[in-house]
Amino acid sequence: MTVLITGGTGFVGLNIAEALVRRGTPVVLFDIGAAPDEAMRELSDSGAPVHFVQGDIRDRAALDAVFATHRVERAVHGAVITADADREARDAATIVAVNMLGTVALLEAALQHGLARVVYLSSSSVYGVNGFDDATLDEAMTPALPDTLYSISKHAGERMALRYHDLRGLDVVCARLSAAFGPWERDTGFRDTLSPPFRATLAALRGETVVLPRPVGRDWVYGRDVAAAVALLLEHAPAAHRVYNVGPGAEFTAADWCALLAERFRGFTWSIDETAASAPWGDRDRRPLAIDRLTSDLGYVPRYRLAEAFDDYMTWLDRHPGFVDGL
């Protein structure tokens, strides 16, 4: 079973690729940007074949060539521009074209080449303004009300993917990812909202001080847990549902993360100042995702809560000196 991962050189795509090749699954990474050399070396040493194809997700001919050449059987669609307000204001057309027309190109190619399954990587941001009210955000009970171009296009991508399933029989499952962080996270030029754990870790590595406007809590999901969930969604047939939340089932705060960083990095300091700018950390704390559907249907068990994620990420940083702070 060869799996195509669009947006495959982004950090979520690389985490998924690592999980798949360790299972012996051949992977094709399709992305407009190249993968870090370190990542490609590690993937190549994992046993299963790994190929990288550079291309634009909007280029249908390039997608057809990849499907035909590598005999792709399943796909994870993660190619996207995760835009902030500044990018929205200056380049809305490109955001919409990549996030929506790119999705159509992928779905059409998947249908033409007879793929067994497509996992569409969506986002918890589709809950939009409703994400701050409910105790937990449920796939069935919490209405999606996206309010940014990124979240609007993600929700539109979900609906398009599900329409391809209903009308044309394409086997599609949508995964609404909570805010992700972990190995290989970096600024690729296509993701404007780097995670608070990454920002704080980068500051600690550089000897900088972090000032938070509040504790900044969320159910951040570690990249390896995302990968485990996506692997299940790729393999589990038939799917009991078409939309699944993917999260850790628990919350922690950026302050919790900073406290652990302060124990590890001598001289790292941090504080909370309610007058500090909130822009890098988000204005509000979204409610956590309910993951009961994922755990009951597929047997998903998150492995990386705060302590486990921190220990694993620090081990990963030790193995990749300079990767983060050299960015």
Q: Which residue has the higher pLDDT, 125 or 283?
A: 125
Q: Convert the pLDDT of each residue in 40-98 to its tens digit.
A: 999 999 889 999 999 999 999 999 999 999 999 999 999 999 999 999 999 999 999 99
Upper half-sphere CA count for residue 41 (Cβ side, 13 Å) = 4
Q: Convert the pLDDT of each residue in 119-135 to its tens digit.
A: 999 999 999 999 998 78
Q: Convert the pLDDT of each residue in 167-182 to its tens digit.
A: 999 999 999 999 999 9
DSSP state of 310: H
Going by C-alpha positions, the residue among 53, 21, 299, 241 that lies closest to residue 3 is: 21
Predicted local distance difference test score (pLDDT) of residue 237: 82
Mean pLDDT in residue range 266-276: 95
Share of the chain above pLDDT 70, in %: 100
Residue 315: exposure state from Cβ atoms within 10 A (0-12, 13-18, ≥19): exposed
Q: Is 15 left (phi over 0), alpha (psi -120 to 50) or beta?
A: alpha
Predicted local distance difference test score (pLDDT) of residue 134: 72
Predicted local distance difference test score (pLDDT) of residue 174: 98
Band (pLDDT 50/70/90 cuts) for residue 327 is: low
Predicted local distance difference test score (pLDDT) of residue 167: 98
d(CA 15, CA 3): 14
3-182+221-250+290-304 maps to CATH 3.40.50.720: yes
Mean pLDDT in residue range 273-302: 94
Mean pLDDT in residue range 208-237: 96
Predicted local distance difference test score (pLDDT) of residue 83: 95
Predicted local distance difference test score (pLDDT) of residue 47: 81
**Six token digits for residue 210:** 């972090």
In the predicted model, what is the mean pLDDT of the chain?
96
Give the CA radius of gyration of the chain: 19
Predicted local distance difference test score (pLDDT) of residue 239: 83
Band (pLDDT 50/70/90 cuts) for residue 140 is: very high
Predicted local distance difference test score (pLDDT) of residue 84: 94
Predicted local distance difference test score (pLDDT) of residue 325: 79
Q: Convert the pLDDT of each residue in 241-255 to its tens digit.
A: 999 999 999 999 999
Going by C-alpha positions, the residue among 242, 255, 247 that lies closest to residue 281 is: 255
Mean pLDDT in residue range 260-274: 96
Predicted local distance difference test score (pLDDT) of residue 326: 72
Q: Convert the pLDDT of each residue in 1-29 to its tens digit.
A: 999 999 999 999 999 999 999 999 999 99
